[in-house]
Amino acid sequence: AQKVTQAQTEISVVEKEDVTLDCVYETRDTTYYLFWYKQPPSGELVFLIRRNSFDEQNEISGRYSWNFQKSTSSFNFTITASQVVDSAVYFCALIPNQAGTALIFGKGTTLSVSS
Amino acid sequence: GAVVSQHPSRVICKSGTSVKIECRSLDFQATTMFWYRQFPKKSLMLMATSNEGSKATYEQGVEKDKFLINHASLTLSTLTVTSAHPEDSSFYICSRIPPGTDGEAFFGQGTRLTVV
């Protein structure tokens, strides 16, 4: 089965705290792609990162970092020194096998950052 | 700038009427586009795959006659919610993935449909 699990439904933190959003995926394919999207209250989906299954290198982009662990089928997302503007719903998603197929989304994690 | 343009962003309609949502690929000729539906505080569920020049492929449980998809050109896919009912109220969003790449998806801005 192809599936993405985001076990954390809601997380609340205070500004400047670090927060990690968990993502666990299931797929039988050896080639696949993992994504994180941010959905602010306006509704549009903001692309954050794409990772292919052959690239386990962790990535850092400013306050954002991602930890891809094939051994545990996880692709966790950490926000360092969170800010109020980070408040949004974050989705982890999977495209199994080759390009051209639709994304399979997790249920999303709602992050609330208070000042 | 946006590579997928979706209109309208918000629409309110009366029960029984039909609503058309447009999704345009601005920078690429998309033979395939995807339509998702999102209920409040829920995830995005794939409704159908829109194929240029042929019939759309619907996911299990999605009514083909209620959600009409037309992909008449390489840059435009439309979703028409026919005979809308309040339970059709939702957030609809389209996306496209160019073939031959490693799968980056671009999404439209979404359409919030309210049926009264």
Residue whose tokens read 């954390």: A8
Q: Are B96 and B50 in contact (CB under 8 A)?
A: no
Which residue of A103, A107, A110 is in closest CB contact with B105? Answer: A103
Pairing of strands A10-14, A109-114: parallel
Size of interface A-B (CB pairs under 8 A): 63
Closest-CA distance, A15 to chain B, in angstroms, reads 23
Residue of B nearest to A49 (CA): B104
Strands A64-69 and B10-13: unpaired
Cβ of residue A102 closer than 8 Å to a chain B Cβ: yes
What mean pLDDT is reported for chain A? Answer: 93
d(C-alpha A95, C-alpha A115), whole Å? 36
Mean pLDDT of B32-40: 92
Mean pLDDT of A20-40: 94
Provide the token pair at B48: 């159908």
Contacts of A106 in chain B (CB under 8 A): 43
- Mean pLDDT, rounded, for B44-49: 94
Neighbours of A71 (CB within 10 A): 6
CB contact under 8 A, B97 and A100: yes
Contact B32 A100 (CB under 8 A): yes
Q: Is 90 exceeded by the pLDDT of residue B52?
A: no
Distance from the Cα of A85 to chain B's closest Cα (Å) equals 19
Contact A51, A69 (CB under 8 A): no
Nearest to B99 among A99, A102, A107 (CB): A99
pLDDT tens across B63-107, in order?
999 999 999 888 999 999 999 999 999 999 999 876 555 556 789
